[in-house]
A and B are shown apart, each in its own frame.
Chain A
Amino acid sequence: MSKDSNEKIVLKKPLRFKFYFTIGVVVFLIFGSALFAGFNIIEVLSNLDQTFRLLDKLFLPPAWDYTSRIIAPLFETVQMAIVGSFLGALVAFPVSVLAADNFIENKFVNTPVRIVLNIFRTIPALVLAALFVAVFGIGSFAGILALFIFSFGLISKLTYESIEAIDYGQVEAIKSLGANKFEILRYAIVPQILPQFMSYTLYAFEVNVRAAAVLGYVGAGGIGQTYERNLAMRYFDRVGMIIIVSFFAVLIIDVISRNIRKRLV
């Protein structure tokens, strides 16, 4: 054995000040926000009996016979989600092409398109729905428009990032054939991003089903409207049934959609 193998190895640990500082900031933010929002754990615990009373009213037992009257608005909700995500995808595709800076190499095009996309994405679907209800009146049309704008923002953002991440060699090759911009799009870009694009559309659909269930609360059609009406009339057992049926509907749709998406990419 050589001599230095017996020597004790002393490594100086790097100071992890930055790490601890970050944790401190995060903890401060969480507690600070709770304090600011008036969240009080004691109040939660002391009102626990109220919660149980409500749960009892909702689910023990739910209004089983009400199921048949939930089906129609539930289908309307799913239809809203389908139409909304389909229209969103339709508009998102050309817009994401304009936003991708490796296809349109012009900042004066990319930047404004991206700014508009960001604005669309910051508006919550519920606010959009309330706005459209005010303009177009109560009903699923307002809901569809809200979901359309919401899916458009979501899909186009994800798609333009996919376009920017493609293998550029294929673009080079198609360009060298003497192809114009449309042909480059058709042969070098669409085949590369199509599976992702379809996956994003399905993902938007999943999110939309969940969002659509709430939109009715502001009068934008679907199951949310039924929910709101029964809650106002204090038919808690019916509300419980709506929650159960919607839960399973969302679950089933999620499972199906996720399975298709897995196969796409």
Chain B
Amino acid sequence: MIKLVNVSKTYKNGTEALKNINLEIYEGEFVAILGLSGAGKSTLLRTINQIIPVSSGNIFFKNVDHNTYKMYGDNPDKTIENLNSKGIDVKKEDLNLVDVDITKLKGRKMRIMRSHIGMIFQSFNIIKRMSVIQNVLSGRVAYNPTWRTILGIFPEKDKQIAYRALKKVDILEKTYSRANELSGGQMQRVAIARSLAQQANILLADEPVASLDPITTFEVMEYIKKVNVEDGITTIANLHHVDLALKYATRIVGVRDGKIVYDIEVNSKKGTDIIDDLEKVYGRPIGNQDYVGEE
């Protein structure tokens, strides 16, 4: 679905955050990226939607329709079949499926491409002075003309998408609350709903639970997993905690010093063995601070 080829990123101050990264991510995967702070996890995630531009290298998205920049994933026939079963009329012969390199896109094309990639953050980054529904509707900006989004008038169809997204994360009753009245866990659920409203094919989660307490952590992780499984949204999450990665991810990628040093399918090896391997990624023993703990 996504293929990073020789991706490097050097910041203006000379920090080499990413060094020649090669990584392929497949449709429907839940990839946990683990590594110490400063290893380059956040930069890696942000290059995928080009919020941070790469210094060199390419990031390809497979089977993107060249007209609409919609993603049809690793198996376009199945995707089209799914869409048809939902009553969305798509024919393969109308599509012009190509591999698109997001690092080469500019302006409107870049924005359309980005709109298919959701992103959630450690600090939630929802707009605190707006209502929950406005926040979720902001996920529809790229689908509407600018005058509409500036005035904040969204069509009924988009409102329905937003309500459904809020229902999915069980927060429909907060629709008209102001976002700053919510708890941390609720804010992150609104952020997930915003990504759902985007109808994103990919979800990038940058330390999504790092500022939440243990109970809320599992709650939010469950919603991310639900979105990943039920909606087939390919998920890439930077995580701090080893046990969360083992519990929710299908694949673990270890990053150290800007390089990928570890890459494994979670169910291909015993959990305890993976933890042993991760000591090499972290360069230190895995201790209590690397676990959220019991649910």
Contact = CB atoms under 8 A, between A and B. Distances in A.
B286 to A, nearest CB: 29
A127 B288 CA distance: 69
Interface in B108-133: 108, 111-119, 121, 123, 125-130
The secondary structure that dominates the A interface is: helix
A176 B117 contact: yes
Contacts of A182: 146, 150
Contacts of A192: 129
Contact of A170 (B108, B113, B127): B127
A65 to B, nearest CB: 52
A178 interface: yes
A194 interface: yes
B123 A183 contact: no
A194 to B, nearest CB: 7
Interface string A182-210: 11001110011010000000000000000
A194 B194 CA distance: 23
A169 B125 contact: yes
A175 to B, nearest CB: 6
Task: Give the size range of B's interface with the partner.
Answer: 20 to 34
B111 A194 contact: no
A174 interface: yes
B146 A183 contact: yes
A143 to B, nearest CB: 35
B129 A194 contact: yes
B198 A177 contact: yes
A176 B51 contact: yes
Contacts of A179: 111, 138, 141-142, 149
Nearest to A174: B138
A192 B127 CA distance: 8
Contacts of B63: none
Contacts of A191: 127-130
Contacts of B118: 176
B129 A178 contact: no
A177 B135 CA distance: 11
A180 B108 CA distance: 8
Interface string B123-167: 101111110000000110110001001101000000000000000
B201 interface: no
Nearest to A192: B129
Contacts of B128: 191
B49 interface: yes
A172 B51 contact: yes
Contact of B125 (A172, A178, A183, A186): A172
A173 interface: yes
A48 B108 CA distance: 74
Contacts of A167: 123, 125
Contacts of A188: 127
B35 to A, nearest CB: 21
Given A186-B149, A187-B138, A180 B111 contact: yes
Given A183-B150, A186-B150, A178 B127 contact: no
A182 B141 CA distance: 11
Given A178-B114, A182-B150, A186-B149, A172 B139 contact: no
A69 B212 CA distance: 65
Given A175-B51, A177-B194, A178-B111, 8 more contacts: A169-B121, A170-B127, A173-B119, A177-B142, A177-B198, A178-B112, A182-B146, A191-B130
14 contacts: A167-B123, A169-B121, A170-B125, A170-B127, A172-B51, A175-B114, A176-B117, A177-B115, A178-B115, A179-B138, A179-B149, A187-B149, A191-B127, A192-B129
